[in-house]
Amino acid sequence: MPMRLCLEGIRDGDVRRAVEAYTGDRYTQHSTGVRDGVEGFVEFFEPFVAHNTVRDIDLVRTFVDGRFVFVHAAQSLNNGESKWVTTDLFDTDRNGKIIEHWDVIHELGGTNPGGHNQVDGETAVTDLHLTEDNKAVVRRLLTEAFAENPTSPMSDFISTETYINHNPDAPDGLDALIEMDRSSRERGQALYYKQVYRVIGQGNFVVSLAHQIWNGIDYAAFDIFRLENGLIVEHWDNVETLPDPADLVNSGKF
């Protein structure tokens, strides 16, 4: 149902019918500028659909972990007038209907120093029996290696042989990541994770939703990791600055 809401409600423009059909007894919203409930969705997306008459949405990756569904998508509006990476996490009820939604949206750029963009790369889900083990690796990476005061090295969690990075500004390789971390901390601009709110996974893919701080600025961050043999070998991320609490129309990004 989350994918149907994205495609039928937003791509196809059938806003009210889709949100009424695919949400449950409540619809708690964490998207910036969107109020809770069916009417909040309608009041935001009906004008969006009217303004953006051409809406192409490519659902690149979707993962399911129990009641949680994650969607990684590329959007092109009005024939490429604007392009976005969207990362959406949905909580669903026992009937599969959406009851809560978190997202992070960022502009889709070109290729990074490693020649990758924000959505390309591996998509095949494998190793379903390793889901919980892989989730544990990612949680430790964020809470130990990327803590404000790290307690473990990145090499405990990331492969030294293969690390494909889809961050818009980052090259491939663990050595490059370690150097970026070292230099940013030396300049007083450290990137660290203040709190990890959700970690969901399906086999070799793990997704986290966290409060990230970089250079003193607060972000909502989705990170997507692909693992092989217990180590991270590929990474995508999507970040959005946290809105001013005075501007919130819902309970916030988390």
Residue 187 CB burial class (10 angstroms; 0-12, 13-18, ≥19): exposed
> Going by C-beta distance under 8 Å and a sequence separation of 6 or more, which residues neighbour residue 246?
none
pLDDT digits (tens, 9 = 90+) for 172-228: 999 999 999 999 999 999 999 999 999 999 999 999 999 999 999 999 999 999 999
pLDDT category of residue 14 using cuts at 50, 70 and 90:
very high
47: pLDDT confidence band, cut at 50, 70 and 90? very high
For 64-110, the pLDDT digits (tens) are: 999 999 999 999 999 999 999 999 999 999 999 999 999 999 999 99
CA angle 217, 221, 225 (to 5 degrees): 135
**1 pLDDT exceeds 90?**
no
Mean of the pLDDT values across residues 228-240?
Answer: 98
What is the pTM for the complete model shown?
Answer: 0.96
Distances (CA, A) of 74 to 56, 77, 80, 91, 254: 8, 10, 11, 21, 22
* Average confidence score pLDDT of the chain: 96
243 Cβ partners below 8 Å, 6+ apart? 32, 252, 253
Q: Output the pLDDT for position 91.
A: 98
168 phi, psi to nearest 5 deg: -60, -25
Residue 231 contacts by C-beta under 8 Å, 6 or more apart in sequence?
137, 157, 158, 159
**Cα 193 vs. chain centroid, distance in angstroms?**
15
Report the DSSP beta bridge partners of residue 98: 23, 92
Domains belonging to the chain, first-starting first, are: 2-108 (3.10.450.50), 128-241 (3.10.450.50)
Q: Please say if the pLDDT value at position 138 is more than 90.
A: yes
pLDDT in tens, 145-168: 999 999 999 999 999 999 999 999
Count CB atoms within 10 A of the CB of residue 108. Answer: 19
pLDDT tens per residue, range 15-37: 999 999 999 999 999 999 999 99
